[in-house]
Amino acid sequence: MAVTALQPAPALRRARFATSTIFAVHGAVTGTFAARVPWVADHVGAGAGGLGLALLMPGVGALLAMPLSGRLAHRFDLRSLTRVLIVCWAAALLLPALPGSLPLLCVTLVSYGATAGLADVAMNAHAVIVEEKYQKSVMSGFHGWWSVGGLVGSAGGALAARAGLGAPPHFALTTVVLIIVSVAVSFWLLDSRPEPGLEEPPAFALPSRAVLPIGLIGLCAVFAEGASLDWSAVYVRDLLHNSASTAAATVSIFSICMAIARFGGDWAVRKLGAVNAVRLSGVIATAGALIVVLTKPVALVITGFGLLGVGIAVVVPLVFAAAGRLPGHPGRNIAGVAGIAYGSGLIAPGIIGGIAHVSSLTVSFVVIVGLVAIMGLGATVLKNRKGSL
């Protein structure tokens, strides 16, 4: 007699849908702002150098705020905390359109990034709870919806710019829509509070020893992602002497490959387990990075960037899931991992540019080859301590 697999309860399915939507909203805010950066730069009169400085500020704000999220997650239930923080993050989209000078923009973007970091930790901590209830891997799909939200937000920004709509009304309209969506679905999130007797984390907590090796795997993946997003177009245009449209298409293909791989990532984790999935990811990413470094035909190089996107796609979701299963409060552990991983994304473009300045862009991407290889070799630190996924 065949055994029928148990289906998740309706409340749990609704929680998964709501969590996916929250991730998409977070990505949509990021994509919307990214698409209107040229308007923001023109509005404050920032040149390339000033704009580069300003765009560092969201990362600084996120890194400063993330260590505080452990205490917030301890004091408030995750449903309420996620609802409030995702609404604040959507409202923060209004901020970049307000300043009229570069110094004010920098200050504003610190606040903008801090809100992003807090919301990121809360929604990932809630996603870990949902995954534990499902008793199978679903985290990669949540991050896939973040990628979809980012693509939708950037596409909406491109359409608004083409229509001649300024950033203030565009951001205001987008904020209203995203807040309505966030509040509507947040009632389906799970109510989760810390275990009784669990010690409250310090107000500003650095990553623990258990979190550090997991965070370093995330660092490798996020460094490769940040470098590829910011430098792949330059690589194709300046080093391989191709058109700007081909260079832009390279970034799009990299991002789309990441999104598609994330939606297939949960299936891969269920079949292979987290450790083997990251090992395979390391092989794919290393092969892609080697193709970028060793070949010249643009079709091959673009294929290499696509493989690199596929290879790093599931690593960050698995890193968050592994951190959430460590002893202690998941919010604090995820905050530690996020700080390490996202910090690498912040410095990656600068390091790649510095190496390119003293050597070449090809040598810069040799660093990516090494990091993604280390990522795959270090996969055993993601072994589930509460069982196997």
Q: Give tens-digit pLDDT for 35-55.
A: 888 888 888 888 766 777 887
The three-state (H, E, C) secondary structure of the chain, written as one string: CCCCCCCCCHHHHHHHHHHHHHHHHHHHHHHHHHHCHHHHHHHHCCCHHHHHHHHHHHHHHHHHHHHHHHHHHHHCCHHHHHHHHHHHHHHHCCHHHCCCCHHHHHHHHHHHHHHHHHHHHHHHHHHHHHHHHHCCCCHHHHHHHHHHHHHHHHHHHHHHHHCCCCHHHHHHHHHHHHHHHHHHHHCCCCCCCCCCCCCCCCCCCCCCCCHHHHHHHHHHHHHHHHHHHHHHHHHHHHHCCCCHHHHHHHHHHHHHHHHHHHHHHHHHHHHHCHHHHHHHHHHHHHHHHHHHHHCCCHHHHHHHHHHHHHHHHCHHHHHHHHHHCCCCCHHHHHHHHHHHHHHHHHHHHHHHHHHHHHCCHHHHHHHHHHHHHHHHHCHHHHCCCCCCC
Does residue 151 fall inside a structural domain? yes
Residues 148 and 258 grouped into a single domain? no
Q: Are residues 242 and 372 in the same domain?
A: yes
269 in any annotated domain = yes
The burial of 111, by beta-carbon neighbours within 10 Å (0-12 exposed, 13-18 middle, 19 or more buried), is given as middle
Q: How many residues does the chain have?
A: 389
- Residues 14 and 72 reside in one and the same domain: yes
Q: Are residues 148 and 222 in the same domain?
A: no
Residues 139 and 47 reside in one and the same domain: yes
User: pLDDT at position 322, please?
Assistant: 87
Q: In which domain, by residue range, is 136 found?
A: 10-188
CATH of the domain at 43: 1.20.1250.20
Distance CA 126, CA 331 (A): 9
pLDDT at 52: 72
Say what the pLDDT of residue 389 is: 45
Q: Which of these three, 188, 221, 244, is where a domain ends?
A: 188
- Asked whether residue 194 is assigned to any structural domain, the reply reads no
Same domain, 234 and 370: yes
Is residue 156 one of the residues assigned to a domain? Answer: yes
Residues 181 and 224 in one domain: no
User: Tokens at residue 311, please?
Assistant: 């290879």
Residue 200 belongs to some domain of the structure = no
Q: What is the pLDDT of residue 62?
A: 84
The pLDDT value recorded for residue 238 is 81
Residue 268 neighbours by CB under 8 Å, 6+ apart: 140, 277, 280, 314
Q: Helices 48-65 and 37-44 meet at what angle, rounded to 10? A: 110
Let me know whether 125 and 225 are in one domain: no
Examine the domain organization and report whether 260 and 350 are in the same domain: yes
105 plus 225 within the same structural domain = no
Do 178 and 260 sit in the same domain of this protein?
A: no
Low-confidence ranges of the chain (pLDDT < 70): 1-7, 48-49, 70, 193-208, 328-331, 346, 349-350, 384-389
In this structure, the answer to whether residues 340 and 247 fall within a common structural domain is yes
- What is the value of pTM for the model shown? 0.81
Domain boundary among 153, 188, 223: 188
Q: Do the domain assignments include residue 248?
A: yes
Per-residue model confidence as pLDDT tens digits over 221-263 = 988 988 887 778 778 888 888 887 788 788 788 888 988 999 9
Separation CA 167–CA 192 (nearest Å): 37
Domain count, the chain: 2
In a domain, residue 350? The reply is: yes
Residue 107 in any domain: the answer is yes
